[in-house]
Amino acid sequence: MYDDVIRATFVGVLAKVCGPKVRVNARLDDERAEKLKQLQSLTGQSASDVLKRALDLMYARQVASARKKLDALLSSDFIGCADGPEDLANQYKDYLTRDLNAKHGAR
Protein backbone atom coordinates (compact mmCIF):
# COMPACT_ATOMS: atom_id res chain seq x y z
CA MET A 1 0.00 0.00 0.00
CA TYR A 2 2.75 2.45 0.91
CA ASP A 3 4.62 1.52 -2.26
CA ASP A 4 2.19 3.84 -4.06
CA VAL A 5 3.13 6.78 -1.84
CA ILE A 6 5.78 9.02 -3.31
CA ARG A 7 7.37 11.34 -0.76
CA ALA A 8 8.66 14.53 -2.31
CA THR A 9 9.54 18.04 -1.24
CA PHE A 10 7.70 20.73 -3.18
CA VAL A 11 5.09 23.38 -2.51
CA GLY A 12 1.61 21.87 -2.81
CA VAL A 13 -0.77 19.22 -1.55
CA LEU A 14 -0.92 17.90 2.03
CA ALA A 15 1.86 20.21 3.10
CA LYS A 16 3.65 20.22 6.44
CA VAL A 17 5.84 23.22 7.08
CA CYS A 18 9.44 22.31 7.90
CA GLY A 19 11.30 25.57 8.41
CA PRO A 20 11.67 27.57 5.20
CA LYS A 21 10.73 24.52 3.10
CA VAL A 22 7.53 22.53 2.80
CA ARG A 23 7.44 18.74 2.92
CA VAL A 24 4.66 17.11 0.93
CA ASN A 25 3.46 13.53 0.94
CA ALA A 26 1.71 12.96 -2.38
CA ARG A 27 -0.20 9.80 -3.26
CA LEU A 28 0.17 8.84 -6.90
CA ASP A 29 -1.76 6.19 -8.78
CA ASP A 30 0.24 3.50 -10.58
CA GLU A 31 0.24 5.35 -13.90
CA ARG A 32 1.60 8.58 -12.45
CA ALA A 33 4.10 6.75 -10.26
CA GLU A 34 5.44 5.06 -13.40
CA LYS A 35 5.63 8.40 -15.21
CA LEU A 36 7.58 9.85 -12.30
CA LYS A 37 10.01 6.92 -12.35
CA GLN A 38 10.49 7.30 -16.11
CA LEU A 39 11.15 11.02 -15.78
CA GLN A 40 13.65 10.37 -13.01
CA SER A 41 15.40 7.83 -15.19
CA LEU A 42 15.42 10.08 -18.27
CA THR A 43 16.59 13.21 -16.47
CA GLY A 44 18.70 11.75 -13.68
CA GLN A 45 16.81 13.98 -11.26
CA SER A 46 15.33 13.10 -7.89
CA ALA A 47 11.58 12.79 -7.42
CA SER A 48 11.66 16.13 -5.61
CA ASP A 49 13.38 17.85 -8.52
CA VAL A 50 11.04 16.33 -11.12
CA LEU A 51 8.00 17.41 -9.12
CA LYS A 52 9.41 20.88 -8.49
CA ARG A 53 9.98 21.32 -12.23
CA ALA A 54 6.47 20.08 -13.03
CA LEU A 55 5.04 22.53 -10.51
CA ASP A 56 7.08 25.39 -11.98
CA LEU A 57 5.93 24.55 -15.52
CA MET A 58 2.28 24.29 -14.55
CA TYR A 59 2.45 27.52 -12.56
CA ALA A 60 4.11 29.37 -15.45
CA ARG A 61 1.50 28.09 -17.91
CA GLN A 62 -1.42 29.08 -15.66
CA VAL A 63 -0.03 32.53 -14.89
CA ALA A 64 0.77 33.16 -18.56
CA SER A 65 -2.76 32.13 -19.51
CA ALA A 66 -4.29 34.40 -16.87
CA ARG A 67 -2.10 37.32 -17.97
CA LYS A 68 -3.06 36.79 -21.59
CA LYS A 69 -6.76 36.87 -20.68
CA LEU A 70 -6.34 39.96 -18.51
CA ASP A 71 -4.37 41.75 -21.23
CA ALA A 72 -7.09 40.94 -23.77
CA LEU A 73 -9.78 42.25 -21.42
CA LEU A 74 -7.86 45.43 -20.61
CA SER A 75 -7.13 46.18 -24.28
CA SER A 76 -10.76 45.58 -25.33
CA ASP A 77 -12.05 48.82 -23.75
CA PHE A 78 -14.73 46.72 -22.05
CA ILE A 79 -13.66 47.79 -18.58
CA GLY A 80 -15.09 51.20 -17.79
CA CYS A 81 -17.50 51.28 -20.74
CA ALA A 82 -20.69 51.30 -18.61
CA ASP A 83 -22.29 54.18 -16.74
CA GLY A 84 -23.54 53.88 -13.20
CA PRO A 85 -22.70 54.46 -9.58
CA GLU A 86 -19.06 53.90 -8.68
CA ASP A 87 -20.06 51.75 -5.69
CA LEU A 88 -22.44 49.51 -7.66
CA ALA A 89 -20.33 46.37 -7.21
CA ASN A 90 -20.43 46.73 -3.44
CA GLN A 91 -23.93 48.15 -3.04
CA TYR A 92 -25.89 46.36 -5.78
CA LYS A 93 -28.36 44.80 -3.33
CA ASP A 94 -29.28 48.21 -1.95
CA TYR A 95 -29.77 49.63 -5.44
CA LEU A 96 -31.82 46.62 -6.53
CA THR A 97 -34.01 46.75 -3.42
CA ARG A 98 -34.55 50.49 -3.86
CA ASP A 99 -35.50 50.14 -7.52
CA LEU A 100 -37.79 47.14 -6.95
CA ASN A 101 -39.54 48.97 -4.10
CA ALA A 102 -39.99 51.99 -6.35
CA LYS A 103 -41.46 49.82 -9.10
CA HIS A 104 -43.62 47.43 -7.06
CA GLY A 105 -43.95 49.15 -3.71
CA ALA A 106 -42.49 47.95 -0.43
CA ARG A 107 -43.89 44.62 0.75
Q: Within a domain: residue 95? A: no
Q: Within a domain: residue 107? A: no
Query: What Å distances lie between residue 11 and 4, 33, 48, CA to CA?
Result: 20, 18, 10
User: Bridge-partner residues for 24, per DSSP?
Assistant: 8, 15
Q: Within a domain: residue 99? A: no
Tell me the whole-structure pTM to 2 decimals.
Answer: 0.49
> What pLDDT does residue 30 have?
95
Q: Within a domain: residue 103? A: no
Whether the per-residue pLDDT at 79 is higher than 80: the answer is no
Q: What domain count does the chain have?
A: 1
Candidate from 8-17, 63-72, 87-96 with smallest mean pLDDT: 8-17
Q: Mind listing the pLDDT tens digit for each residue in 2-44?
A: 343 444 434 444 445 556 678 888 899 999 999 999 999 999 9
Q: Within a domain: residue 36? A: yes
